[in-house]
Amino acid sequence: WAQLLCVEKVGVHDNFFTLGGHSLLAAQVMARVRSRYDVDVPLRDLFETPTVENLAAAIIQALASQADDAEFDQLLTEIEDL
pLDDT digits (tens, 9 = 90+) for 3-51: 889 999 999 999 999 999 999 999 999 999 999 988 999 999 999 999 9
Distance of alpha carbon 42 from alpha carbon 63, whole angstroms: 13
Per DSSP, 23 falls in state H
Cβ–Cβ under 8 Å, residues 2 and 9: yes
Per-residue pLDDT band for 66 (boundaries 50, 70, 90) equals confident
Enter the pTM of the model.
Answer: 0.73
Domains in the chain, ordered, with CATH? 2-80 (1.10.1200.10)
Q: What is the CA radius of gyration of the chain?
A: 13
